[in-house]
Amino acid sequence: MAVASDRDYRYMARALQLARNGLYTTHPNPRVGCVLVRDDRIIGEGWHVKAGDDHAEIAALKNAQNAEGATVYVTLEPCSHHGRTPPCADALVKAGVSKVVAAMQDPNPLVAGNGLKRLREAGIETVCGVLEDDARRLNRGFVQRMTTGRPFVRSKLAMSLDGRTALASGESQWITSHAARQDVHRLRAQSSAILTGIDTVLADDPALTARIDADVLQPLRIVLDSRLRMPASAQLAKLPGRSLILTCSEDRHKIAALENAGFEVHQLDARNGRIDLQALMPFLAGQHINDLFVEAGPTLNGALLAENRVDEWIVYMAPCVLGDRGRGLFDLNIETMADKKTLKLADVRQVGPDLKLTYTVF
């Protein structure tokens, strides 16, 4: 394989920029961008918009019309399989391109190196690994689902300066600013699904939709409801798109009523009377969920933290005080300092008057 040049990095940066156009729409597919270059000039560009539509390479080929002798910069290895669309590797061979530079190999076991191999077999020079870290970060949910069978899990918390998420009465609207809540809508829009607990639904009757000024493929809405306390009148049932209830109840009568109301009900294994979180993650991956966004209360967040099931915690901290009688973030019983949960601070930034703290796990 050849070595990458400065020019390769520059064009790959452009391809990544194009891939980001699909941030809110490609799931369960990855976000992919592609640039075609000849004589140090861009002759075609494209990106993957949504599953079932052209892959990035095909969009760029169509944009260029004639790509003979071109170098292809693509943020993911061209596919070699027949999915919803035919293989991009074959289309590139047919178009007569002379070189393909990919940011990373496709972790999809149906591809996994075969796309690049097919190109090399056709006499096309290949390079892989240019701006690979950026490409992986853009599709970390897709990569994690393909390689581990679990989605990338991100949980959002909103708290006061003194670490409270609601008053003792349960009242919590609003602690953080409008700017922080807008930021949350962008995070929702990047996710394949939003997960919450039944207590949150009973308290707030939320819509769990991403409301931003852009085209968004709305995330699935998923509620953990082990005992089927969901009211058939909940707002979630009436929204377009899928709302799932995950339960361990076998009450056929209630299940039928909720299905009639518009919910999809799935039964999962129970552990200590609650949905087994270990079984939950492969179930979600089976639903093609790359990025899971958790917006839940202290019970579910406590369990997720205790079992280490979250990859990234996002905490918005508002400059207000709710007092010691307010509710905390995690319903956890920790007896000794040795048992405390420790996270790793990955990023700090200001959003309006609030702080946005990003933590990862060790």
Regarding 76 and contact with ligand AOF (CB under 6 A), the answer is yes
- Given the DSSP bridges, would you call strands 344-351 and 312-317 parallel, antiparallel or unpaired? unpaired
- From the CB of 150, what's the least distance to ligand AOF, in Å? 16
Residue 106 or 312: which CB sits closer to Zn ion? 106
Residue 51 binds which entry of Zn ion, ligand AOF, none, CB below 5-8 Å type-dependent: ligand AOF
For residue 71, what are the β-bridge partners? 37, 99
State whether residue 251 is helix, strand or coil: coil
Residue 21 or 29: which CB sits closer to ligand AOF? 29
Contacts of 337 (CB under 8 A, 6+ apart): none
Whole-number CA gyration radius for the chain: 23
Binding-site string for ligand AOF from residue 24 to residue 43, where x marks contact by CB under 6 A and - marks none: -----xx-x-----------
How far is the C-alpha of 194 from the C-alpha of 155, rounded, in Å? 10
Catalytic hit among 57, 77, 295, 312 = 57
State whether residue 313 is helix, strand or coil: strand
- From the CB of 55, what's the least distance to Zn ion, in Å? 3
Regarding 50 and contact with ligand AOF (CB under 6 A), the answer is no
- From the CB of 51, what's the least distance to Zn ion, in Å? 11
By CB under 6 A, which span of 78-86, 193-201, 230-238, 344-352 interacts with ligand AOF? 78-86
**Binder of ligand AOF out of 27, 48, 145, 188 (CB under 6 A):** 48
Query: The tokens of 76 are what?
Result: 């993911």
Residue 127 binds which entry of Zn ion, ligand AOF, none, CB below 5-8 Å type-dependent: none
Neighbours of 302 (CB within 10 A): 18
Tell me if 317 sits within 8 A of 165, measured CB to CB. no
- From the CB of 306, what's the least distance to Zn ion, in Å? 41
Residue 131 binds which entry of ligand AOF, Zn ion, none, CB below 5-8 Å type-dependent: none
State yes or no: is 171 an active-site residue: no
Query: The tokens of 206 are what?
Result: 């939320």
Residue 84 binds which entry of Zn ion, ligand AOF, none, CB below 5-8 Å type-dependent: ligand AOF
How far is the C-alpha of 89 from the C-alpha of 109, rounded, in Å? 16
> Can you list the alpha helix ranges (DSSP code H) found in 96-171?
114-121, 132-138, 140-148
Residues between 109 and 138 with contacts to ligand AOF, criterion CB under 6 A: 111
Residue 48 or 150: which CB sits closer to ligand AOF? 48
Closest to 228 measured CA to CA, from 205, 257, 185: 257
If you search the block for the tokens 């090399």, which residue do you land on?
120
CA dihedral 25, 27, 33, 34 (to 10 degrees): -110
How far is the C-alpha of 231 from the C-alpha of 11, rounded, in Å? 53
Residue 48 or 164: which CB sits closer to ligand AOF? 48
Regarding 310 and contact with ligand AOF (CB under 6 A), the answer is no
Residue 63 binds which entry of ligand AOF, Zn ion, none, CB below 5-8 Å type-dependent: none
Residue 59 or 296: which CB sits closer to ligand AOF? 59
How far is the C-alpha of 16 from the C-alpha of 108, rounded, in Å? 19
By CB under 6 A, which span of 55-63, 221-229, 237-245, 352-360 interacts with ligand AOF? 55-63
Query: The tokens of 237 are what?
Result: 């049932």
Q: Crossing angle of helices 88-95/114-121, nearest 10°? A: 20
- Residue ranges that bind Zn ion, judged by CB under 5 A: 55, 79, 88
**Binder of ligand AOF out of 88, 102, 244, 317 (CB under 6 A):** 88
- Number of shown-chain residues binding ligand AOF (CB under 6 A): 18
Q: Is the bond into 240 cis (omega within 30 degrees of 0)? A: no
By CB under 6 A, which span of 103-111, 152-160, 197-205, 352-360 interacts with ligand AOF? 103-111
Catalytic residues: 57
* Chain contacts with ligand AOF (rule: CB under 6 A): 29-30, 32, 48, 51, 55-57, 76, 78-79, 83-85, 88, 106, 108, 111
